[in-house]
Amino acid sequence: MMQLHNHFFTIICSIAFIFYPFTTQASAPPFGELKVHFIDVGQGDSMLVTTPTNKHILIDGGPPGSGNKIIAYLKKQGIRKLDLLIATHPDMDHIGGLPDVMKKIKVKKILDSGKLHTTRAYRKYIREIHQRKIPLEIAQENTSIDIDPQVQIQILNAYKKGKNNNESSIALKIGYKEIDFLLMSDVERKQEKKFIKKFNVEAEILKVAHHGSRTSSSFAFLKHVRPRIAIITYSKENDYGHPVHRVIRNLYKLKTEIYSTAVYGDIVIHTNGRDFYLIPEKSPLEGIDSDAG
């Protein structure tokens, strides 16, 4: 059943790629760009944001074992220092690779959700922060991250007493001129309802919450976001049934183009603040072939 589910998703991703191609301009200038990289770390999250003034933000570090992939990816981009590392919440598939990253890449500052956890992965993460003496700040809901005057980064969600790990996830809205990214981490429908009432969640690019799980991405919320592009981060071999069909159907009702790291590998979105274009590591056919292999 799982194999059928995974093939269903790779097939519809291929259809999206073939019949809903990008119409945005591919001539954005090399300077003054915001770049958001969705790094393929399997069943987990890791994103790199490079601002127009060349500030570098790493958001999450995937599951344990992902560190070397992320380090190699950063070095390929010429990055030896991170201006900010954001750990959205303490689940293993988001912080597992961060200790290795901290050992090899200089981190200027860490933004943490403030949610404590008792796992080995979390202890390794905290221990590495202490050993490296990296300044750590706890995220506060409805505040801004000031790292580049050209880019607005708003924190939509963080930990409050009584929230579980996913409900404590740092969710971000990143705006550059006319283009917005909504990065939902693993927040749940309860937080989505609050976002609708409290924030302007409309965004061109949506990082789908919780790997396309049934816990998130209600149609009511997605209608407010109206995303042109949805990115789903997951592994084809996951045991959770991610992404669920309901989430895919909701996105297709809104004519949203869907790209997943499971099919396309690393995905990079470039924007000059007016237009944007997407560069996937793999074609959909390569993604399906690798699944079969």
Q: What angle, 0 to 180 degrees and rounded to 10, lies between the N-to-C axes of helices 284-292 and 2-19?
A: 160
Distance of alpha carbon 88 from alpha carbon 244, whole angstroms: 22
* pLDDT score for 285: 76
| pLDDT, position 203 | 98
Q: Report pLDDT for 185.
A: 96
Q: What is the pLDDT of residues 161-209, one digit of tens each?
A: 999 999 999 999 999 999 999 999 999 999 999 999 999 999 999 999 9
Q: Coil, helix or strand for 268?
A: strand
**pLDDT at res. 262:** 94
With a cut of 70, list the residues of the chain below it in pLDDT: 1-31, 239-240, 242, 287-293
Burial string for 91-108 (b: 16+ CB within 10 Å, else e) reads bbbbbbbbbbbbeebebe
What confidence score (pLDDT) does residue 32 get?
87
Where residue 32 falls (left for φ over 0; alpha for ψ -120 to 50; beta otherwise) is left
pLDDT of residue 242: 66
Element (H, E) at 47: strand 47-50
Residues recorded for the chain: 293
CATH of domain 2-20+32-292: 3.60.15.10
Domain layout of the chain by residue ranges: 2-20+32-292
230: CB partners within 8 A, 6+ apart = 205, 206, 207, 208, 251, 256, 257, 258, 259
Residue 58 — φ and ψ, nearest 5°? -105, 125
**C-beta separation of 12 from 248 below 8 A:** yes
What does pTM read for this prediction?
0.87
Instruction: Please give the pLDDT value at position 29.
Output: 40
CA distance 22 to 250: 20
Q: Express each pLDDT in 242-253 by its tens digit.
A: 699 999 999 999
What pLDDT score was predicted for residue 192? 96
